[in-house]
């Protein structure tokens, strides 16, 4: 059960920026921490949309990042990348909200906080009068099955009929509908030495490699001294009740 929570926006609590940075480092593989053009807009222009969940002792337990954007409601018009989401983010003329990330303190997981942060993001969309919250979801267990195609993985179910992946399942239980796989929401490219530093592995020859935290193999080219990874997500749409 989630602890008693207080929900703030970043605009209300700009003093928590350092805590958000700490939570980001704890939440993502190192190779995904290389910056996305436009991400800084979350902490300025869109600070009033970023949700912070704190307990009664004012400890930051979870954060939800989201932005308003222009979307015509069709699968074909879904942004292909995180960068494209941010490029289409605007207040005037926006038609939906898109979640970008939901982060929970690792020491507080298993208490329903992921559900709570999604509900907080839906509440933001509701307050602004939008009918939908869309989300490029990064399935938490996909890294356990890096060789499985994403379009098959997102259909895997448990014996009780619910989705196998716990993060997809949280969305499902809140009424979200799966829309489409986004095969490359983030692309990470670096030298072989960069990838060795990020992963703690050695890449002695060219080829695909399974690395911790990656949802599919990283492709290493020793001759060209480069490694490339594309992070797949799964677009889901939440109804936002009036």
73, 90, 125, 144 from 69: Cα distances, Å: 11, 5, 11, 32
34, 62, 67, 135 from 7: Cα distances, Å: 28, 10, 17, 20
pTM metric for this prediction = 0.93
Beta strands 132-137 and 96-104: pairing type?
Answer: parallel
Whether residue 29 contacts residue 198, with contact meaning beta carbons closer than 8 Å, is answered with yes
Domain architecture of the chain: domains with CATH: 6-185+232-239 (3.40.630.30), 187-230 (no CATH)
The span from the CA of 182 to the CA of 74, in Å, is 14
User: Using one digit for the tens of pLDDT, what is the confidence trace for 72-100?
Assistant: 999 999 999 999 999 999 988 899 999 99
Residues found in the chain: 242
Residues of the chain with pLDDT > 70, as a percent, come to: 98
Q: What is the pLDDT of residue 187?
A: 96
Which residues have C-beta within 8 Å of that of residue 18, sequence separation ≥ 6? none
User: Using one digit for the tens of pLDDT, what is the confidence trace for 125-169?
Assistant: 999 888 889 999 999 999 999 999 999 999 999 999 999 999 999
């Amino acid at each position: 059960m989630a602890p008693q929570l207080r929900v703030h926006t970043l605009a209300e609590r700009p003093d928590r920026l350092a805590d958000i940075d700490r939570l980001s480092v704890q939440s993502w593989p190192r190779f995904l921490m290389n910056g996305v053009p436009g991400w800084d807009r979350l902490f300025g222009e869109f600070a009033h949309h970023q949700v912070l969940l704190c307990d009664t002792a004012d400890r930051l337990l979870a954060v939800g990042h989201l932005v308003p954007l222009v979307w015509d409601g069709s699968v074909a018009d879904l942004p292909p990348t995180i960068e494209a989401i941010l490029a289409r983010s605007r207040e005037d003329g926006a038609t939906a909200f898109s979640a970008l990330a939901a982060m929970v303190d690792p020491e507080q997981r298993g208490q329903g906080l992921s559900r709570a942060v999604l509900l907080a993001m839906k509440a933001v969309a509701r307050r602004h009068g939008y009918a939908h919250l869309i989300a490029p979801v990064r399935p938490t267990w996909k890294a356990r099955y890096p060789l499985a195609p994403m379009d098959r993985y997102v259909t895997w179910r448990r014996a009780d009929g619910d989705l196998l992946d716990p993060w997809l399942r949280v969305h499902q239980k809140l009424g979200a509908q799966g829309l489409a796989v986004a095969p490359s929401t983030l692309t990470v490219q670096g030298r072989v030495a960069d990838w060795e530093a990020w992963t703690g592995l050695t890449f002695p020859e060219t080829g695909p490699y399974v690395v911790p935290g990656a949802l599919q193999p990283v492709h290493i080219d020793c001759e060209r001294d480069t490694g490339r990874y594309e992070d797949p997500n799964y677009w889901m749409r939440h109804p936002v009740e009036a």
